[in-house]
């Protein structure tokens, strides 16, 4: 019975346990809430790229239709038709290249922003844990001293401990 009580007490007072617990909780929440927004952004960007590619393919089809009209109307226009096809293919390639580049740039920016946010959240969590650990240490020290020492000695030791902790935090 006393062993279980000491484990429970250790869990309540051990800052390492709370640090690990907070970190795990943070990672789970970041995954659960961040995953959907990142996936929806990626899906929207993919859909835009698909529509750009579809538009490029439509342009290519239109160019090929023009080529067929030129061939049926003009026997000697094969040089012009080849030029139109080459232009349409180049436009399609340019649109694809631009869409892929835009997608890669957007993903790079989004990843950088996400990494920055995660770093900020980690720093904030560490500061909160440190603050909590300091408050917990002061509270525990005060409780132990009040139980074990006379009122005068307890007051002197409490002042010294608080001064010592504040020096460590700075």
Asked if the model's pLDDT at residue 101 lies above 80, the reply is yes
pLDDT band for position 127 (cuts 50, 70, 90): very high
Arithmetic mean of pLDDT, 122-136: 89
Distance CA 158, CA 68 (A): 94
What the block records as the tokens of 61 is 């089809």
pTM over 0.75: no
Residue 20 is classified by DSSP as H
Q: Could you tell me the CA-to-CA distances from 135 to 13, 16, 168, 169 in Å, in that order?
A: 11, 15, 13, 11
Asked if the model's pLDDT at residue 120 lies above 90, the reply is yes
Asked if the model's pLDDT at residue 90 lies above 50, the reply is yes
Find all residues with CB under 8 Å of 122, minimum gap 6, and list them: 26
Distance CA 40, CA 57 (A): 25
Residue 76: φ, ψ to 5°: -100, 15
Distance CA 142, CA 152 (A): 13
What the block records as the tokens of 27 is 């990672």
Residue 77: φ, ψ to 5°: -100, 20
- Find which of 24-33, 46-55, 150-159 is predicted with most confidence, using mean pLDDT: 46-55
pLDDT the model gives residue 151: 72
């Amino acid at each position: 019975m006393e062993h279980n009580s000491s484990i429970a007490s250790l869990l309540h007072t051990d800052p390492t346990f709370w640090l690990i617990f907070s970190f795990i909780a943070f990672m789970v929440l970041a995954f659960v809430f961040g995953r959907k927004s990142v996936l929806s952004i990626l899906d929207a960007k993919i859909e835009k790229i698909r529509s750009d590619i579809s538009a490029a393919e439509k342009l290519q089809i239109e160019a090929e239709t023009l080529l067929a009209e030129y061939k049926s109307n003009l026997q000697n226009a094969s040089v012009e038709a080849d030029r139109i096809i080459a232009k349409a293919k180049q436009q399609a390639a340019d649109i694809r290249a631009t869409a892929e580049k835009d997608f890669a740039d957007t993903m790079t920016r989004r990843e950088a922003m996400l990494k920055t946010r995660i770093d900020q959240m980690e720093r904030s969590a560490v500061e909160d844990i440190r603050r909590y650990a300091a408050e917990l240490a002061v509270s525990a020290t005060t409780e132990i001293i009040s139980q074990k020492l006379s009122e005068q000695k307890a007051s002197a030791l409490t002042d010294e401990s608080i001064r010592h902790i504040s020096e460590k935090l700075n």
